[in-house]
Amino acid sequence: MFRNFAVDQRIAVIYLQALAKTQHYSHFQMEDFTSRLLEHDASILGLKELVKDSRNMSKQEQASSLLSALTGGGGFAGLGALGSASASATMQQIRGTDPKHPLHVQMHNPTSTRAALVALTGRVLIAFVVVSALSALFDEKGMGRGLGMNSGSKHIQQAQDTSNVSFEDVKGVEEAKAELQEIVLYLKNPAKFTRLGGKLPRGLLLTGPPGTGKTLLAKAIAGEAGVPFFFSSGSQFEEVYVGLGAKRIRELFEAAKKKSPCILFIDEIDAVGGTRKLKDQSALKMTLNELLVQMDGFEDNSGVIVIGATNLMEALDEALLRPGRFDKHITVPLPDVGGRKEILEMYAKKTKLDPNVDLNILARGTTGFSGADLYNLMNQAALKASVDGLSSITMSVLEFAKDKILMGAERKTAVITKETAKCTAYHEAGHALVAVLTDGAMPIHKATIMPRGQSLGMVTMLPEGDQTSQSLKQMKAMMDVAMGGRVAEELIFGRDETTSGAMSDISNATRIARNMVTKYGFSDEIGLVNYGGSTGEEHASEETRTKIDAEVKKLTDASYKRAKDLLSRYSKKHHLLAKTLLEYETLTGDEVRQLISKGAKPKRPVINKNGGARGNGEVLTGGKTRLSGLGRDAT
């Protein structure tokens, strides 16, 4: 093993000692080993005589005699004398007594990993306590302001001397405005209301869906009364330090009292005023408790009207809703058809509309839109008209914007095969035909096989007016329309060729049926019982749940049968509607009704002459092309 490198006395001694320890002498060759040793240090002349004398020895005896000779022990005085200087140097190197070859000693630290982690945790805790104490001290003494550490008052919005919003700027919520008129009168002339000992509510809670104008109403009150307006958000009170939320509440009310009479508006108050639970953090409880005390405690907040806004009134703590705090609750609902027209007219004054635009039609077709949705509609229409180079906003542009909000953006670059387009057309035609021919179904707004969002096609329906309730007939009609897509696929392509496209339709039909059974009392078997909860079965027994499932399946099966009978009876109209969808891609509600009743196709150019297929022709015909951005070939 020493044929590739030279061996000096130090290496030889180490190697021989290792052999003696392990007793692995099978690879030891005396002559080869000593020849390499002589190549490094020819002064050790006694090695040659040692090799001659050891030829009759075993390998173990040879190695032992050589080790004794090199270290100066054993009966080989001649070798020790001849190489005494070299041997002495070797021993110094081995024992670490040579300054050039020190003996390195490393002490092992027995400290365990667990002890190290405990020590580290202790240091971190001490550092956290020190930093927290210093931060609290700086904040209390006001020293953090100069060091850029002040976080106690930055959330307080400077009071506006007056708001430039009036009730004329708030449209579509006339009942809510009427409720707030007395607050305006009180702020203008407090003595008129207090002369008989009466007191106005200290707090007003505005509730309702998002985008209905709750914040705008609060600004309008301040603008009408001409008083300062403070604004804050429920999420701005809490930060990392415990007690900071309560401190900010105190600062906010102190600032408001200095500007009294004034309005203090807290938006999204459910973030700080939610129902208290035992498991809540103490900081959250402290913030809410401070808000409760400031609104109705020992100190008088006369002249400070607190207005809160939330979309989740049911999430608020009961103590916050009691008389003396938020003792007047005003609902701000979605605008009705008249309110929507007023909102559209207000936004129309800020844009340039085409004279042929009929806002009455647009208001009737935007059921369920909030004020924010209507603003978005007008804004998108203005942007679309600008991109198209139009001089004004036309009705077609407004319809485009409405469809984009209701159905999503068109995916005109989507690659659709003829088979997929045909399946989608018959599926949507099934929905549309059932909707038109079923009594109680909502009128069709549009039917399309143009991919939008995550959908390959859809049929949208809008009620003729604002609805506050639904009848049993209307619910059954909604289920039948939902089943129309799956039934159409089965009748045209066969059960084995039906697709998963009806998943959301089946889900909607099942949801309606379950609500009919568990919440609306439309099941003779279950009776007039409301089981509540998200699924309507939380408080039902196992036997009742079985009955509920049976009743739900009974309703969905009946709906499936009605849809199948109708589509089978009007098969020709179904085929005509599907083929027309493949040609025109999108049909309005009037075009669908004209096609079904009179067989009249739209009087406009055909859009698609490829059987509904869309996209790259090479992809559809199997040609080879590279998909941009994907980095792979599609064949």
Q: Are 433 and 567 in contact (CB under 8 A)?
A: yes
User: CA angle 575-581-587, nearest 5°?
Assistant: 125
- Token pair listed for 47: 């090695």
- pLDDT (mean) for 572-595: 93
User: How many contiguous H segments (helices) and E segments (strands) does the chain have?
Assistant: 26, 10
Maximum mean pLDDT: which of 282-291, 438-447, 457-466: 438-447
Classify residue 122 as exposed, middle or buried by CB count within 10 Å of its CB (0-12, 13-18, 19+).
Answer: exposed
β-pairing verdict for 444-448 and 458-461: antiparallel
- pLDDT (mean) for 433-462: 90
pTM recorded for the entire structure = 0.65
Q: Which fold has domain 418-617?
A: Methane Monooxygenase Hydroxylase; Chain G, domain 1 (1.20.58)
Distance CA 587, CA 596 (A): 12
Residue 94: CB partners within 8 Å, gap ≥ 6?
10, 13, 14
Res 4 pLDDT > 70: no
Res 480 pLDDT > 70: yes
- What is the CB neighbour count within 10 angstroms for residue 566? 19
- pLDDT (mean) for 374-391: 93
pLDDT for residue 102: 53
- The mean-pLDDT minimum among 152-156, 160-164, 364-368 falls in 152-156
Residue 633 binned pLDDT confidence (cut-offs 50, 70, 90):
very low
- pLDDT (mean) for 245-270: 85
What percent of the chain clears pLDDT 90, i.e. is strictly above it? 27
Alpha helices (H) along 226-278: 244-258, 270-273
pLDDT for residue 497: 92
Res 317 pLDDT > 90: no
Residue 280 binned pLDDT confidence (cut-offs 50, 70, 90):
low
Residues of the chain with CATH 1.10.8.60: 337-407
**How confident is the model over 569-580, as pLDDT tens digits?**
999 999 999 999
Q: Which helix (H) or strand (E) holds 309?
A: strand 304-310
Maximum mean pLDDT: which of 2-6, 310-314, 342-346, 465-469: 342-346
- pLDDT (mean) for 178-198: 80
- pLDDT (mean) for 269-283: 70
- pLDDT (mean) for 381-398: 92
pLDDT for residue 594: 93
pLDDT for residue 283: 58
Q: Are 26 and 59 in contact (CB under 8 A)?
A: yes
Residues of the chain with CATH 1.20.58.760: 418-617
| C-alpha pair distances (Å), 101 with each of 64, 98, 104, 279 | 26, 5, 9, 67
Active site residues: 428
Higher per-residue pLDDT: 603 or 625: 603
Residues of the chain with CATH 3.40.50.300: 167-331
**Structural class in CATH, domain 167-331:** alpha beta
Query: With respect to CATH, is domain 337-407 assigned 1.10.8.60?
Result: yes
pLDDT for residue 178: 86
Higher per-residue pLDDT: 339 or 138: 339
